[in-house]
Structure 1
């Protein structure tokens, strides 16, 4: 090994370890989310995803058989059987017959109840109730128990999300918002980037500086003024800001600075000789743009399309402000939020909702990802 290689080895080791650390930092939460999306909601509430393959203690409630199943033996009424809905793979550790003391007795011990009755619950879920008086009522008695539950994996979370009311309409709404809101800024930015790169314009440097400055404007600060502007302009033309046109224009405005910045840097780095040769052959700016610039700029266009599509698809704030929360206007992120309710109930379906919502963005990403790095490196670093 040469001296130069020896000096470079520690640096390469640090780079490799840093990359590995970043990969693990992003992979673990995603893996945890994926595992949690297939777990039983009761187990998800009491243990973390890293305990998905180990048994966990759960507080459950079951019932005995109905009183009409009791038998009379030696003057005692006996009701025996297996706890309703008990999983044979589980093991009962403790039990109780009141909600005040749900873990008062160890499995296999005898619990004294009212009126001289007794209850015994075994670890395998079988119970025996003995009473000098006949059991009455139409339903069995409740039994509270703590069980060592075996790992459970299910598709119930996905089933609840996919079959919830309005999910299909919200999916269509998201596509209706996202596709135009991705295509429109790309088209406008491509024309603007070509003009700022290869056309002689007065104040071109100021325009470029203005585009860079717009990159740092917080979206949240411009929402209300922009909505007021839409309402004012829409009043003259009879168009409501709460429409698809309004949200398309909003996303276009928020996405244009980054699009122009990336595409301008990419297009300005294309070989000057190609454009000069086209001009000599009699091509005008429009011909050069359509026949030369656009085909050569596809990596940059694809890289921005990925970012814009992901941002718009996952957006909730802009969709809420410019489209509303109506039953027929909710986008997918808004519909999934509504599944939780106003108090955040059924939060376990968030895990399944996350993977349902990223199905389309993942498809777009893996379709265009080969252009992502090439377009970003060329478009952001000159």
Structure 2
């Protein structure tokens, strides 16, 4: 009796817990990138992203102000300043040597020898004193351990999207849109016509053509990259947007035709036959009946094609990227950042989340059509 349809299984709670754990495992990296993209390099290097919402203790290196700005106070010269712009920072300890960064408490004075001293107060103000020879050079180095309040900044996004440096990803962002949107629409246009013909039009060799399309699904695209590039070069397309559009169209058509054909074949036959009795042509049936009813399958493939094209690196390198860098896409730009800014986690996190933002929006807005399209034609 436990297997009766409609009755909940005994281990339903275990299934629910497993689903929640899987969802959390997928969400954590995305949330980590999002939080890290709003943090500074010092914060990322000193604590994990999960501590970003709580006060953290950090040890940083500072130097006093330029000794050229010193003032004379009796027999000694003095340099004064403040190390923290954030007045909420709470200094726990400080030191003048990297071997003992907690040698002194706030307000204590460090004896640097021969009458030279350094005092750091709890509010972040310091006072460096000494004779004319001692108060010179680059300034006195010291280390401060302080409890910093949670802090977030938009500076990373400002540099990545609007800055004038080589880190600017806005051009690569629009290049990726230029590749992805046509490479998503073109396969759908061709596949929809082909799927209708394979589902509702009777012609010789239709079964063999369907079998051939299914066989193309298991062919690795890497096998076709170099021959297809040689073909593009021989006919004058070369490396450019047209070439990468055609490449993505060719690689996406087998799945598109297969998915849409299965969905269209499962539509009620009575609707098609009634339309033909009323004198509708195949084109009119396709435009006015099939396409509106096939929207879930169209949206499902559009999601997949958009995600594959947006996150693609290999096809873009082969068919698009040139020496000038004017057509660099997001994935290529992030790879270049890994080489030039591999230690700057705040930049990499920001670039990665900008790259993820658009696919996430597309998926969340169209996810209700995904399962309906994938299950199309699986049952009758």
Instruction: Return 5+ residue gaps in structure 1 as ranges.
Output: none
Q: Residues 262 and 198 of structure 1: is their aligned pair in 2 closer, same or farther, counting only changes over 3 Å? A: same
Greater mean alpha carbon deviation, residues 160-169 or residues 101-110? 101-110
Q: How does 1:1-382 map to 2 (within 5 A)?
A: 8-67=8-67, 68-73=69-74, 75-83=75-83, 85-97=84-96, 101=99, 103=101, 105-108=103-106, 109-133=108-132, 135-137=134-136, 140-165=139-164, 167-232=169-234, 234=235, 238-240=236-238, 242-325=239-322, 326-342=324-340, 344-379=342-377
Task: Check 1:217–1:114 CA distance in 2 against 1; reply closer, same or farther (3 A cut).
Answer: farther
Query: Is this contact kept in 2: 1:340–1:347, CA < 8 A?
Result: no
- Is the CA contact 1:170–1:335 (under 8 Å) kept in the aligned structure 2? yes
* Equivalent pairs, count: 373
Distance 1:379 1:312 in 2: 25
Offset of 1:124 from its aligned partner?
3.5
- The 1:218–1:58 alpha-carbon spacing in structure 2 relative to 1, beyond 3 Å, is farther
| Post-superposition offset of 1:349 | 1.8
Q: Tell me the TM-score normalised to structure 2 length.
A: 0.86
| Contact 1:263 1:379 (C-alpha < 8 Å) held by counterparts | no
SS class of match (2:10): helix
Task: Please give the secondary structure, in 2, of the residue aligned with 1:17.
Answer: helix
Shift of 1:9: 4.7
C-alpha displacement at 1:379, in angstroms? 4.8
Aligned-partner SS, 2:345: coil
Contact in 1 for aligned 2:116/2:134 (Cα 8 Å): no
User: How big is each residue's C-alpha offset from its partner over 1:210-258, in whole Å with a ceiling of 9 and x where there is no partner?
Assistant: 22232222333432232223223x2xxx332x01111001101111121
Q: Deviations over 1:267-326 (max 9, x none)?
A: 010111222222333333223222221121111111111211122122222112110143
Provide the C-alpha distance between the structure 2 equivalents of 1:61 and 1:201, rounded to a whole number of angstroms. 78
Q: What CA RMSD, in Å, does the superposition of the two structures yield over aligned residues? A: 2.9
Pick the structure with more helix per residue: 1
Q: Distance in 2 between matches of 1:335 and 1:328?
A: 11
Range that drifts further, 303-312 or 345-354: 345-354
**Could you report, residue by residue, the CA deviation over 1:96-142 in whole angstroms, capped at 9, with x for unpaired residues?**
446x6472623345434254422233444232333244654486433
2: CA distance between counterparts of 1:205 and 1:199?
Answer: 12
Q: Deviation digits for residues 330-351 of structure 1, max 9, x if unmatched?
A: 1233334434443524232222
Aligned partners of 1:186 and 1:65: how far apart in 2? Answer: 64
CA contact (8 A) 1:117 1:132 kept: yes
TM-score (norm 1): 0.86
Secondary structure of the residue aligned to 1:113 is: strand
Tell me if the contact between 1:70 and 1:135 (Cα under 8 Å) persists in the aligned partners.
no
**158-167 or 303-312: bigger deviation:** 158-167
1:381 Cα offset (Å): 5.3
Q: Give distance in 2, aligned partners of 1:312 and 1:77.
A: 65
Deviations 1:156-181 (A, max 9, x none): 11111111446443333222211111
Shift of 1:376: 2.0
Q: Greater shift after overlay, 210-219 or 107-116?
A: 107-116
TM-aligned CA distance change 1:114 to 1:263, over 3 Å: same
Gaps of 5+ in 2: none
